[in-house]
Amino acid sequence: MNYSIEAENLNLWYGDFQALIDVNVKIPGGQITSLIGPSGCGKSTLLRCFNRVNERYGNVTTKGKIEVLGKNIYDADVSLPELRKAVGMVFQRPNPLPISVYENILFGLRIHSPIRSMTRTESDQIVEEALTSVFLWEDLKDNLKVRATSLQLEQQQKLCIARLLPLKPKIILMDEPCSALDAKGTGAVEELMEILAGTYTFLIVTHNMAQARRVSKECIFMFLGELIEHRETQALFEDPQHEKTEDYVQMRYG
């Protein structure tokens, strides 16, 4: 089995508060893995470790080892822009940049390539490909100059996924990607994830257990900073090995 992400003895502190305690996890490549657990259990923190965006909040101490695609991302020679290019991220609230749809898709590519390295035809083609793979091309092909923040939320979130694709990431991290969307939008995003899952490794944080059950192949349960259980989704929900997992998946709390 090939693993996209391997974390060993990962400990993380926000100031004096320990948010992650000895987390060991292996995320298989090319499929959807979901992270569940009650609020404040460290799901999002763990997710944000994998492309090191949580370091920006200051006051964060990380110990342990995380290998992403076979390379320890805490090595001194790791370039953060390259890491974040390979590990894309989708946030809880759709956060397209307040520029046009067209420029949103090209923003990632532009910051990673020298100025004026793309011709107009090339960039047109990139935008079309990206939008087509998230099924937005038909809706937006006449409105590429529209400000991205004026789209519907569902379209915005799909756009946020689409703008990762030109960078050719290997892994896409999603932090509750559907919590700001209605049922129809959630359905659309889930469908999209399932279609893209063969090409990319997805790791999603979700509060919605039904969603974890629907989309993910493997499921990780976390509680108060510790990783309690990591198994196939079906098995985790139907035959939880741990008492806390059982309580949580049967909705006794959380």
- Nearer to other proteins by Cβ, of 145 and 242: the residue is 145
CA 244 to chain centre: 25
> Which residues neighbour 233 within 8 Å (Cβ) at sequence distance 6 or greater?
34, 212, 213, 216, 217, 218, 219
CB nearer to other proteins: give 96 or 240.
96
What is the nearest approach in angstroms of other proteins to the Cβ of residue 188? 20
Where along the sequence are the contacts to other proteins (CB under 8 A)?
A: 51, 53, 56-59, 80-85, 88-89, 91, 93, 95-98, 107-108, 111-112, 145, 160, 163-164, 167
- Residues present in the chain in total: 254
CB of 97 vs other proteins, minimal distance in Å:
6
Separation CA 63–CA 22 (nearest Å) = 9
d(CA 162, CA 165): 5
Q: Where are the alpha helices (DSSP H) in 20-77?
A: 43-49
Smallest gap from Cβ 71 to other proteins, in A, equals: 16
CB-wise, 169 or 240, nearer to other proteins?
A: 169
Least distance in Å: CB of 89 to other proteins? Answer: 4
Q: Which is nearer to other proteins, 108 or 185 (CB)?
A: 108
- Which one, 159 or 228, has the nearer CB to other proteins? 159
Beta bridge partners of 26: 6
Question: Residue 54 Cβ, how far from other proteins at the closest point, in Å?
Answer: 11
Q: For 225, left (φ over 0), alpha (ψ -120 to 50), or beta?
A: left
Q: Which residues contact 180 (CB under 8 A, 6 or more apart)?
A: 92, 93, 94, 153, 157
Rank residues 155 and 233 by Cβ distance to other proteins and give the closer one: 155
**Closest approach of other proteins to the CB of residue 87, in Å:** 9
CA gap 99, 111 in Å, rounded: 15
